[in-house]
């Protein structure tokens, strides 16, 4: 498990500036994703716990957006290059280099977790442990917004992402994984193919039971 994570981290380290230039303003042309994040922030505010982790934060643009939406947001990523860029681009916010399956957060501390396309490089057999970690750090009733490439087939599909190998998921199967981890999915949005491969942009909002 550690080898492929190290390889993926190194791959992202090699594209930091290109990635940041492509994605830092991407939500300006992605109204569905932008509004799902806004809804997530509104629901987190309603819990009264504004602490939110942007897990797999990359260059930190969504951490900054969450901060602008009133969250006490911080960013976590396993790429040292991405964390260095995020700290430089957003000096007023906190960013840490971590593994997603070992978050440096106490049990039940957070009102929300954002996982915006940050689970796509996780192999199917490793995903339950990752989701269990997100459950661990959320307070009861805390919110998770997870976004990923969706497929209409019956099983996850491994594909050659431009940075590192990745997986697309059938939404219903991902919902089942969330349920097994201790989440109740209460909203889902699937829309336009996210690439020439025909994968759907998929966003799931779930609450820790």
Q: Is 61 in contact with 28 (CB distance < 8 Å)?
A: no
The pairing of strands 51-55 and 110-116 is parallel
List the one residue out of 13, 168, 25 whose CA is nearest residue 78.
13
The pLDDT assigned to 3 comes to 59
The pLDDT assigned to 95 comes to 98
Supply the pTM of this predicted model.
Answer: 0.93
The pLDDT assigned to 49 comes to 98
The pLDDT assigned to 189 comes to 95
The pLDDT assigned to 53 comes to 98
Give per-residue pLDDT as tens, 163-181.
788 999 999 999 999 999 9
The pLDDT assigned to 1 comes to 47
The pLDDT assigned to 42 comes to 98
**What's phi and psi for 131, nearest 5 deg?**
-65, -35
**Residues in the chain with pLDDT values less than 50:** 1
- The structural domains of the chain, ordered by start, are 2-208 (3.40.50.150)
Euclidean distance between CA atoms 207 and 109, whole angstroms: 14
The pLDDT assigned to 83 comes to 96
List the one residue out of 205, 197, 195 whose CA is nearest residue 174.
205
């Amino acid at each position: 498990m550690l080898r492929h994570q190290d390889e993926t981290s190194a791959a992202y380290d090699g594209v930091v500036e290109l990635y940041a230039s492509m994605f830092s303003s991407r939500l300006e042309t992605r109204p569905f994703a932008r509004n799902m994040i806004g809804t997530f922030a509104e629901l987190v505010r309603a819990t009264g716990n504004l602490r939110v982790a942007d897990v797999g934060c990359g260059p930190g643009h969504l951490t900054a957006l969450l901060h602008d939406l009133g969250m006490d947001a911080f960013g976590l990523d396993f790429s040292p290059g991405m964390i260095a860029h995020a700290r430089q681009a957003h000096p007023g916010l906190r960013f840490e280099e971590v593994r997603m399956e070992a978050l440096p957060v106490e049990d039940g501390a957070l009102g929300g977790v954002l996982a915006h396309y940050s689970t796509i490089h996780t192999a199917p057999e490793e995903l339950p442990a990752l989701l269990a970690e997100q459950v661990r750090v959320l307070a009861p009733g805390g919110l998770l917004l997870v976004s990923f490439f969706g497929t209409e087939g019956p099983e996850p599909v491994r594909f050659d992402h431009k940075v590192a190998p990745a997986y697309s998921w059938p939404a219903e199967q991902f919902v089942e994984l969330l349920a097994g981890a201790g989440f109740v999915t209460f909203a889902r949005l699937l829309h336009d193919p996210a690439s020439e491969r025909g994968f759907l942009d998929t966003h799931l909002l779930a609450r820790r039971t």
